[in-house]
Structure 1
Amino acid sequence: MSTEFDLEALLATRGAERYDLHTRHLNPQLPRMLHTIGFDKVYERAEGAHFWDAEGNDYLDMLAGFGVMGLGRHHPVVRKALHDVLDLNLADLTRFDCQPLPGLLAERLLAHSPHLDRVFFGNSGTEAVETALKFARFATGRPRVLYCDHAFHGLTTGSLSVNGENGFRDGFAPLLPDTPVPLGDLDALARELKKGDVAALIVEPIQGKGVHESPTGYLRAAQELLHRHKALLIADEVQTGLGRTGDFYAYQHEDGVEPDLVCVAKALSGGYVPVSATLGKDWIFKKVYSSMDRVLVHSASFGSNAQAMAAGLAVLSVMEDEQIVARARTTGELLKSRLAALIGTYELLADVRGRGLMIGIEFGRPDSLKLRGRWTMLQAARKGLFAQMVVVPLLQRHRILTQVSGDHLEVIKLIPPLVIDEADVERFVDAFTAVMDDAHSGGGLMWDFGRTLIKQAVAGR
């Protein structure tokens, strides 16, 4: 007879060791990085778009766990669905039956993209991309996949092959046959398609790295080019999908765009359970699964598990009942407009862009001599340090969690839970304004911290 496992007691006795445990047993650079920039906080609980530490201090989450917490943390409807599915004692993952939950979730997902017909369920965004790459190559009989410069599609070997950042790719070759093309460059796309070996173009309608939106008309024109050359369009909606940009999918901002394959993950389970979905056209799925001998030619051990499917169904229900997509659009427009209004006030603030609640704040070279000298010093040490200088006081002084949008980028990306409200918007804008005031005053704490970052950057070379 096994002894009772008491999770609460375990956390009570060992929880204080969290950073030491990571240092000894997991990625040692994570706690080192968090200590360096002062992000080594101890969060005790979370709800919606907020965290609380042991002292009861409230933190605003503008990161949403890299986008997985679309409904915020611990939404009661999703939480109840998970309790319910566990209490049902379902015969889950027998592998040789057809449970109802995957079919029901597929039906609900496909209702938002009626030109698509079938779904494969996996466990993560990178797995959704891997599925799309495999299906596109098999369906077309061609080896090469095109992707856009600066794209991010995941970090497993296949998805890494269509990753536009060398920092992630270095040392992991050889990868799949691939070719980058600039986002929005139809001529470059046409040149590659003429070679006759392209299976597909995979594209984020809004790139996560830097928050760059595809130019108006590009997706539709790219789709036409691809289909003319018997290649496929894959839309990576892992971060942009499920309402993030103010439509259910970001590709829907452009009329006439109907991708052949769509990748979904992150927010689909409300942040509780790993889950992904690759949606596609009927003929593609039927080509991959062409006979009973090929019934398991592509599968996932934990794919379609009951917890993930129940969470997904609950998330879609909440999105409909609480009008989450419209809410993200309205709140996002408010946040973006409030931030864009500051551009003329602060010379270090270069641009505010994005859609819905996916917003990029870019910093650039100032005009005044004093600030220009300090900016140049930071850029010489490592590009992206000023954005980090903004992120740190937002957390340290204002208890707001944000992120730099990518390595060597002077861009902060805001991807908060889609349930933030007007008060949260005002809190962020007030805090950001205070940080910008400090940066432009020429004094104090931000630039002192900048010197610390420069030392770290130089030492890390």
Structure 2
Amino acid sequence: MKDDEPEGFDLATLFAERGAERYELHARHLNHQLPRMLRTIGFDKVYERAEGAYFWDTEGNDYLDMLAGFGVMGLGRHHPVVRKALHDVLDASLADLTRFDCQPLPGLLAEKLLTHSPHLDRVFFGNSGTEAVETALKFARYATGKPRILYCAHAFHGLTAGSLSVNGENGFRDGFAPLLPDTPIALGDLDALERELKRGDVAGFVVEPIQGKGVHESPPGFLRAAQDLLHRHKALLIADEVQTGLGRTGDFYAYQHEEGVEPDLLCVAKALSGGYVPVGATLGKDWIFKKVYSSMDRVLVHSASFGSNAQAMAAGLAVLSVMEDEEIVANARLTGDLLRERLTALMGRYELLHDVRGRGLMIGIEFGRPGSLKLRSRWTMLQAARKGLFAQMIVVPLLRKHRILTQVSGDHLEVIKLIPPLTVGVKEVDRFIEAFTAVMDEAHSGGGLMWDFGKTLMKQAVGNR
């Protein structure tokens, strides 16, 4: 220990003494179903360290991360520039969060963030994507004086009460009613959008340009047409770019793939801090913010205790700097195109592989009913037990046999979603394609341990009904 280091709490010692208890501690004190689920599917790994797009276990084996912490680790883990920024801001001993001053870092990050959406003017900083959506919902209601928000079926916008009200997945909503009286429409259904708008009580429409659940892209022209309809009825377009933003889809924001789209409110989070510090941001037009904060009496009408904290702001500035210096958006576009092309080329080879879709490094791989009788009977048995089990049968050997971490894209979906760090390149594409091909070969052979594991999943699914 150095002379100037404080005595007492020692994190390294704590890890050494108690780190092996991680699964037992979680089962005892946190969500007890998580370790149970991880053990059931063989995901109960012990990762000791991580860097970039890789983890390493206690035996020194490397694992390729194609999940990026659900998109949080846009730059991979422990990027040196972001690490240095956080060390620097801690060493500066700033008078942070006094609540009655104006620190420079929030203003500087807002200024930098707004350069990527020049039609927007102001930013509110919170602590997560769901808070960013909550902010947008509140601002839309207050600015328009109308109560109702429209959203899309199968959308995911967060899990707090307001964002849950615009969540299109019943599995997340069940048991938490009553929620806000908001209304779902199908992604791309302009007639339904116009029909709801004609009722005159709609404050806004919140939409993911590419839905995270299933990786479904909004149809060409839909966002621009929706924007025109909304503005005609004095309602707002709210773009949820919590997962799609900051380069994920090969442009800085996914809405920018469609010409003329300029959301009134824009939600970002996840990758903004490089995965180090919780942060969320709601960007909006000047008139909306000025209506919400219409007087000095309303200066705290919407605020967050940890919003705009120095660590989050410094990390955000470092992330945006790295994205420019290392051309992260261009890499996501080029690497994503390569990965999608190589996956698409496999569709004629595997009858269980039905679709490859997405943009940039947000890719959905969908499986479907095979044509051959032998595989069709096994597929039918899996579907009868629980839809989504075949995708899980692909995800598990990718990790256990090939040390590649992926995810099923949503409950009851036969879709795998790939959202790796935006720093991956040809080497990672080669590794994934080689592993995916081996797993699909085994699946199409009709035998082996993979289908035996499918039986285990079937029993588990039936037992949970």
In structure 2, the residue matched to 1:185 is 189
Match of residue 455, structure 2, among 446, 451, 456? 451
Match of residue 51, structure 2, among 47, 67, 72? 47
In structure 1, the residue matched to 2:10 is 6
Query: Structure 2 counterpart of 1:378, which letter?
Result: L
Query: Structure 2 counterpart of 1:212, which letter?
Result: H
Match of residue 74, structure 1, among 68, 72, 78? 78
1:209 corresponds to 2:184: no
Paired with 1:295 and 1:261, the residues of 2 have a C-alpha distance of 20
Question: How far does the alpha carbon of each residue in 1:386-442 deviate from its partner, in whole angstroms, 9 at most, with x for none?
Answer: 000000000000000000000000000000000011000000000000000000001
In structure 2, the residue matched to 1:334 is 338
Query: Structure 2 counterpart of 1:425, which letter?
Result: V
1:120 corresponds to 2:124: yes
Match of residue 343, structure 1, among 347, 351, 355? 347
Q: CA shift at 1:3, angstroms?
A: 4.8
Could you say what secondary structure the match of 2:239 adopts? strand
Paired with 1:136 and 1:87, the residues of 2 have a C-alpha distance of 39
Paired with 1:445 and 1:122, the residues of 2 have a C-alpha distance of 47
Question: How far does the alpha carbon of each residue in 1:79-132 deviate from its partner, in whole angstroms, 9 at most, with x for none?
Answer: 000000000000000000000000000000000000000000000000000000
1:229 corresponds to 2:233: yes
Question: Normalized against structure 2, the TM-score is what?
Answer: 0.99
Match of residue 172, structure 1, among 161, 164, 176? 176
In structure 2, the residue matched to 1:292 is 296
Match of residue 104, structure 2, among 100, 105, 122? 100
Paired with 2:444 and 2:178, the residues of 1 have a C-alpha distance of 46
In structure 2, the residue matched to 1:22 is 26
In structure 2, the residue matched to 1:87 is 91
In structure 2, the residue matched to 1:428 is 432
Paired with 2:418 and 2:181, the residues of 1 have a C-alpha distance of 33
Paired with 1:80 and 1:135, the residues of 2 have a C-alpha distance of 35
In structure 1, the residue matched to 2:357 is 353
In structure 1, the residue matched to 2:222 is 218
Paired with 2:423 and 2:59, the residues of 1 have a C-alpha distance of 25
Could you say what secondary structure the match of 2:248 adopts? coil
Query: Structure 2 counterpart of 1:56, which letter?
Result: G
1:404 corresponds to 2:408: yes
Query: Structure 2 counterpart of 1:210, which letter?
Result: G
Could you say what secondary structure the match of 1:360 adopts? strand
1:324 corresponds to 2:340: no
Query: Structure 2 counterpart of 1:180, which letter?
Result: P
Match of residue 440, structure 1, among 440, 444, 449? 444
Percent of aligned pairs with the same amino acid: 86
In structure 2, the residue matched to 1:143 is 147
Paired with 1:94 and 1:394, the residues of 2 have a C-alpha distance of 48
Query: Structure 1 counterpart of 2:21, which letter?
Result: E
Match of residue 152, structure 1, among 146, 150, 156? 156
Query: Structure 2 counterpart of 1:403, which letter?
Result: Q
Paired with 2:7 and 2:350, the residues of 1 have a C-alpha distance of 61
Paired with 2:256 and 2:291, the residues of 1 have a C-alpha distance of 27
1:312 corresponds to 2:320: no
CA RMSD of aligned residues (A): 0.5
Paired with 1:135 and 1:211, the residues of 2 have a C-alpha distance of 28
Could you say what secondary structure the match of 1:436 adopts? helix
Could you say what secondary structure the match of 2:184 adopts? strand
Could you say what secondary structure the match of 2:219 adopts? coil
Question: Normalized against structure 1, the TM-score is what?
Answer: 0.99
Could you say what secondary structure the match of 1:145 adopts? strand
Query: Structure 1 counterpart of 2:11, which letter?
Result: L
Question: How far does the alpha carbon of each residue in 1:207-264 deviate from its partner, in whole angstroms, 9 at most, with x for none?
Answer: 0000000000000000000000000000000000000000000000000000000000
Q: CA shift at 1:445, angstroms?
A: 1.2
Question: How far does the alpha carbon of each residue in 1:140-181 deviate from its partner, in whole angstroms, 9 at most, with x for none?
Answer: 001100000100000000000000000100010111120000
Could you say what secondary structure the match of 2:87 adopts? helix
Question: How far does the alpha carbon of each residue in 1:371-400 deviate from its partner, in whole angstroms, 9 at most, with x for none?
Answer: 000000000000000000000000000000
* 1:350-429 alignment runs, 5 A limit: 350-429=354-433
Query: Structure 2 counterpart of 1:214, which letter?
Result: S
In structure 2, the residue matched to 1:65 is 69
Paired with 2:463 and 2:181, the residues of 1 have a C-alpha distance of 36
Match of residue 132, structure 1, among 117, 133, 136? 136
In structure 1, the residue matched to 2:284 is 280
Query: Structure 2 counterpart of 1:7, which letter?
Result: L
Query: Structure 1 counterpart of 2:189, which letter?
Result: D
Question: How far does the alpha carbon of each residue in 1:43-64 deviate from its partner, in whole angstroms, 9 at most, with x for none?
Answer: 0000000000010000000000
Paired with 1:417 and 1:91, the residues of 2 have a C-alpha distance of 33
Could you say what secondary structure the match of 1:177 adopts? coil
Query: Any gaps of 5 or more consecutive residues in structure 2?
Result: 1-5
Paired with 1:207 and 1:329, the residues of 2 have a C-alpha distance of 18
1:241 corresponds to 2:245: yes
Could you say what secondary structure the match of 1:443 adopts? coil
In structure 1, the residue matched to 2:268 is 264
In structure 2, the residue matched to 1:110 is 114
Paired with 2:363 and 2:433, the residues of 1 have a C-alpha distance of 13
